[in-house]
Amino acid sequence: MSAPQRRADPEPQAPPGPASVWRRLWDQFGTLLVAVAIALAVRSCVIEPYRIPSESMLPTLLVGDHLFVNKFVYGIKVPFSDWRLPGLREPERGDVVVFEVSRDRYGGIFPADLRPDLPSERFVKRIVGVPGDTVEVRGAELWINGERVPVEPTGEVVEDEDGRVLTVARETLGRHPHAIADDPRAVGPQRGPFTLDPGRYFLVGDNRDHSNDSRLWGTVRLADMKGPAFVLYWSWDWDGSWLELLNPVTWWTLLTEKMRWERIGMTIR
């Protein structure tokens, strides 16, 4: 009977080389990195979210509305430059647009290209004048190229957060009929007739008597526009902190009292 053979000891494994380590890291995190890269590319080139912080666009947009901006329509902006790739169309009268302005520490607002040394901030307003237009604001009336923009009363009212009752009318800018709000007890910023320079746009809030817009601080160039707003993806009457959302009682209040379910998915006119 032959003696049992002794099993050879396994050879010691060599430590993983650099290529093997990178392979393991890619297997663990590669999918996540690709997902993050796609999300950043989409946000940079296609759509970008924006939250409405003020009532300057009443009754079209409410505080707490969250919308998507279509960055493809006017042409994708080349990063770190003022250049844009060809878009689907030029900005039109009536477009609701998210754009950048500059703001100083005292609250002063300036066109972003005139004060690039200041921090930037995003605004949302409606385009009422395009390059070459002659624009004038007389009281509550908007005049474009010597003609009064048609406005029809609706008989509706809306109340703002300060308890002011605003009347709602229907205004038509080009092919964009939309609602505007008027405060019968106030007169908003006025602007005498002037002609817009090439490449400059005049933007005004739909809440005409309570909007900080081009009537006060000037015009906006295309390079500073993010794009037109096109749909609401979320809406709630909530101004609390994210820490408060950790409380289940807050969830119930949001779901039953603060959410504006009927606004989610609405297109912006």
Kindly indicate the confidence band of residue 19, based on its pLDDT and cuts at 50, 70 and 90: low
pLDDT of residue 235: 95
16 lies in a domain? no
Claim: this prediction has a pTM higher than 0.95: no
Containing structural domain, residue 44: 25-233
Q: How does the average pLDDT of the chain come out, rounded?
A: 87
Report percent pLDDT > 70 for the chain.
Answer: 83
Q: What angle do CA 226, 227, 229 make, to 5 degrees?
A: 120
Question: What token pair was written down for 78?
Answer: 């080349």
Number of domains in the chain: 1
Residue 109 included in any domain: yes
Residue 9 domain flag: no
Q: Which of 77, 125, 214, 226 is catalytic?
A: 125
- Residues paired with residue 225 on neighbouring β-strands, in sequence order: 99
pLDDT at 56 over 90: yes
- Pick the catalytic residue from 56, 102, 214, 235: 56
- Residue 108 has a pLDDT of 96
Whether 269 maps to a domain, the answer reads no
Q: Which two three-digit tokens encode residue 175?
A: 């092919």
CATH number at residue 143: 2.10.109.10
How big is the CA angle at 241 (ends 237 and 247), to the nearest 5 degrees? Answer: 90
Interior angle at CA 92, CA 167 and CA 63, nearest 5: 40
Here the tokens at position 81 are 């430059």
Whether 71 sits among the annotated catalytic residues: the reply is no
Q: Respond yes or no: is residue 211 known to be catalytic.
A: no
pLDDT in the model for residue 81:
75
263 in a structural domain: no
Determine, yes or no, domain membership for 246.
no
Quick check: is 244 in a domain?
no
How is 61-113 classified by DSSP, letter by letter? S-TTEEEEEESSTT-PBPTTSS-B---SS---TT-EEEEEEEE-TTS-EEETT
Task: Examine residue 247 and state whether it is found in any structural domain, yes or no.
Answer: no
